């Protein structure tokens, strides 16, 4: 990834910070959009270009990508998770999942593709979930939206066949983040996926070494 211009959305989160560190270690030039000032503080001295932008706003997405000197790699990490029995999920919660997990993926991939097609090169990495292949109860909106992310990524892989642009997804199980430890306790945390481990998989998919992978959905389940 040395010298590649890499956009990492959701880069201020626990997984995002790990991906930023890995990409920087591989010599990438990293740009991270952010919404909350306080969340960007940890990245200010890391040699990262920080840009205030909401990835659910198409104009902001377009601006961020077109302002970059080049866009070689898109790592799209923006997403969210809520649980609830399907018969109790209200329409607002359903739409919130689709917007946060799927619509942001569409907007970022759409505008990244436009730039990558101009240059003739690109890597797109999206984040699905184990719930795509092993759906669990009380996660209808989450599972459906993440399944949409994987399907969209495979569509892009089909559209870019025969080019130097690739699109792949990772399917993590529970990631060992402070938020997940607060929500679920840490008794089983040693079996979860370490952010640094998942970051290495993501950066592999964003590298030249993954040029022959297209439309893959790689399971990263840890020991769960």
Which residue's entry shows tokens 């990409």? 23
Rounded to 5 degrees, what are φ and ψ at 223?
-105, 10
CA-based max dimension of the chain: 50
Q: Beta-carbon neighbour count of residue 97 at 10 Å?
A: 25
DSSP 127-189: E--GGGTS--TTBHHHHHHHHHHHHHHHHHHHHTTTSEEEEEEEEE-SB--HHHHHHH-STTG
CA 223 to chain centre: 22
Active site residue: 142, 160, 174, 203, which one?
A: 142
Does 121 qualify as catalytic in the annotation? no
What are the catalytic residues?
A: 142
């Amino acid at each position: 990834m040395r010298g590649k211009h890499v956009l990492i959305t959701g880069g201020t989160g626990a997984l995002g910070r790990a991906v930023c560190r890995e990409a920087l270690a591989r010599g990438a030039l990293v740009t991270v959009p952010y919404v909350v000032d306080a969340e960007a503080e940890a990245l200010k001295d890391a040699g990262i270009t920080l840009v205030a932008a909401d990835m659910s706003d198409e104009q902001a997405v377009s601006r961020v990508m077109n302002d970059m000197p080049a866009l070689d790699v898109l790592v799209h990490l923006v997403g969210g998770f809520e649980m609830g029995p399907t018969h109790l999920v209200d329409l607002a919660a359903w739409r919130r999942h689709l917007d946060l997990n799927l619509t942001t993926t569409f907007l970022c991939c759409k505008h990244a593709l436009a730039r990558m097609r101009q240059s003739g090169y690109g890597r797109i990495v999206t984040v699905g979930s184990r719930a795509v292949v092993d759906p669990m109860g009380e996660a209808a909106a989450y599972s459906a939206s993440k399944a949409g992310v994987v399907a969209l990524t495979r569509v892009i892989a089909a559209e870019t066949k025969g080019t130097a642009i690739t699109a792949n997804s990772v399917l993590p199980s529970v990631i060992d983040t402070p938020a997940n430890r607060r929500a679920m306790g840490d008794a089983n945390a040693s079996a979860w996926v370490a952010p640094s481990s998942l970051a290495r998989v993501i950066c592999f998919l964003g590298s030249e070494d993954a040029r022959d992978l297209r439309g893959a959905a790689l399971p990263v389940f840890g020991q769960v």
